[in-house]
Structure 1
Amino acid sequence: MEVGTEEERALLPSPFTYNDARGQGMSDRRLYALRDSGAIEPIGWGLFHWAHDGQLTDPDLLEIAVRAPEATLCLSSALARHGLTDQIPATIDVALPRGHTRPKVRAPVSWHLFAPETFAVGRERLALDQRHHIGIYNAERCLVDAFRLRRWEGPELGNEALRRWLRRPDTQPSSLLSMAREFPLAEKPLRQALEVLL
């Protein structure tokens, strides 16, 4: 199996795009020879990974992160990562600031457009490898969004997640309500649910 020269691997660290390869002077013929020999593996449209770098832990998230640096895991996908739901979403819930273009990806994604002025509230970073990360909303923001968007997501998503969150020893309902104040559609139903559960 061809592995690519050291120079090629140094110029094109994983993952790299077709345009990256062309920008470094690699011909289409060389790129496709590397792909056909198994030296590089496609992980998205025009997105490649050096096979010698080992198995990718989550190529779908890596593709999304490379195509949309602002991408942030939200709703069911983020709640599952926080251990607040047993739902396994059929698609990856990803938020972008309203006004940003949704990139074309092979990964199964449900894009959600959130208001730019509150987009960063509760946003953290999830490491995908040594060089790449994707945004993820913290547990409190996920709960707020589940209640805020309950008309589309269904009321049970937020209720189940809130019950699980409250069982954790380090939860602070006051901090959750403080965050909810920034999202008028979430505060009242979240406060009512807390009154029932506490």
Structure 2
Amino acid sequence: MPPVFSQRHIAHALLKARGIVRLAEFRAAGVTAATVSRMERAGEVLRLDRGLYQLSDAPLDANHTLAEVAKRLPKGVVCLVSALAFHGLTDRLPGKVWMAIGQKDWAPTNAGMPLRVVRFTEGLLTEGVEIHVVEGVPVKVFGVAKTVADCFRHRSKIGLSVAIEGLQEALRQRKATPAMIAREAEYGGVATVIRPYLEALTANG
């Protein structure tokens, strides 16, 4: 006969496989909310946020908050200052995670979440997306060239100096070519804005 696994065993397996698990995912796997609560009281799991859990002894990645927010907002894409930080293009540590979502997508209203939502059109939301696994959680992040172009497009929100820093670092670290950045800038409608900075930086080597 096949072995019978307890709800605790199932919960542990789910947490090890996915890193961060939502209460709805536990329920779908046959683990009740009462079992999760008992595990939390016993110190086996850690409640990160409402309905969001992780193993207490799970190693924390430097990008842990991105994984947490991505689990709560699976349609979102890490963008702007948070994407710059993820790609190592800025020393600034944003106090909130910048996430791009669609024009009509649901946005969390929980003030306890370290989140700053920016609404993108469908075309701009699906362009230049990369998927990185953080603590077992797939996290969508805009690529370097797309992020730089977006920073110039949203310079009124993050500051022009941040956008210029991102452009400088992307070129200096050779994480994107001028052509790649120019292409994304054209697609995002900021080619004329970014061109003078791009030309000045490439002219200076």
Specify the code of the residue in structure 2 equivalent to 1:195: E
Q: 1:31 corresponds to which residue?
A: 36
Separation of aligned partners in 2, 1:28 and 1:164: 46
Separation of aligned partners in 1, 2:26 and 2:188: 44
Report matched runs for 1:34-49 at 5 Å. 34-49=39-54
2:83 to 38, 55, 78: 78
Separation of aligned partners in 2, 1:43 and 1:50: 10
What is the Cα deviation at residue 26 of structure 1? 4.3
2:187 to 178, 182, 186: 182
**What secondary structure does 2:140 align onto?**
strand
Separation of aligned partners in 2, 1:71 and 1:149: 17
Query: Which deviates the most, 17-26 or 59-68?
Result: 17-26
What is the Cα deviation at residue 15 of structure 1? 2.9
Contact (CA 8 Å) 1:63, 1:107: kept in 2 or not? no
Q: Which runs of 5+ in 1 are unaligned?
A: none
1:164 to 166, 169, 192: 169
Cα deviation 1:57-99 (Å, max 9, x = unaligned):
2443222222221221111111112121111111111111221
1:153 to 138, 141, 158: 158
Separation of aligned partners in 1, 2:138 and 2:120: 20
Question: Identical aligned pairs, as a percentage?
Answer: 24
Separation of aligned partners in 1, 2:34 and 2:67: 25
Q: Which runs of 5+ in 2 are unaligned?
A: 1-6
**What secondary structure does 2:116 align onto?**
strand
Contact (CA 8 Å) 1:91, 1:109: kept in 2 or not? yes
Query: Which deviates the most, 62-71 or 94-103?
Result: 62-71
Query: Which deviates the most, 143-152 or 60-69?
Result: 60-69
Separation of aligned partners in 2, 1:61 and 1:32: 25
Q: CA RMSD in A?
A: 2.4
Query: Which deviates the most, 101-110 or 41-50?
Result: 101-110
What is the Cα deviation at residue 28 of structure 1? 4.3
**What secondary structure does 2:98 align onto?**
strand
Cα deviation 1:118-160 (Å, max 9, x = unaligned):
2111110111133x21111111111101111112221101111
Change (3 A) 1:79 1:33: same
Contact (CA 8 Å) 1:43, 1:60: kept in 2 or not? no
Q: How many residues are treated as equivalent by the alignment? A: 193
**What secondary structure does 2:118 align onto?**
strand
Separation of aligned partners in 2, 1:29 and 1:165: 49
**What secondary structure does 1:191 align onto?**
helix
Q: 1:192 corresponds to which residue?
A: 196
Q: 1:107 corresponds to which residue?
A: 113
Is 1:124 aligned to residue 130 of structure 2?
A: yes
What is the Cα deviation at residue 36 of structure 1? 0.7
Separation of aligned partners in 2, 1:154 and 1:193: 15
Change (3 A) 1:38 1:189: same
Using the size of structure 2 for normalisation, the TM-score is 0.82
Is 1:96 aligned to residue 119 of structure 2?
A: no
